[in-house]
Amino acid sequence: MKKSISTLIKRLSTVLIPTAVGLEGWALYTTLAGRTLPGFLIPVLWLGGFALVAHSVEGVVAAVYAAKKQEDPVRWGFYTFLVGTVGLLELFELGRLGAGQESLETP
């Protein structure tokens, strides 16, 4: 993947994933408070929920793989949760090259 595209994806994901977490928290709060959300947010919440589940799965995969490669699983898991597939690809590339030949930035 081109570096400029992966950098753009990482920056967007780092903003959008915490935003999705915040929206989910707001939705939970409004539900518990007995209020309703604006209708236009329902599709946004579905999309955000899907992204959160996908990024969570990627984060778990990254943490498990990092532990097997003698890397910090918490750091790689959280980083991959935030940036998504790009972080997972970086970790796999790091594992393929070996620990002594890092060509990619680690989180």
Q: Over the stretch 20-47, which tens digit does the pLDDT of each residue have?
A: 999 999 999 999 999 999 999 999 999 9
DSSP string, 31-83: HHTT----TTHHHHHHHHHHHHHHHHHHHHHHHHHHHHTTS-HHHHHHHHHHH
pTM comes to 0.82
Q: List, for residues 41-100, the tens digit of each pLDDT value.
A: 999 999 999 999 999 999 999 999 999 999 999 999 999 999 999 999 999 988 777 655
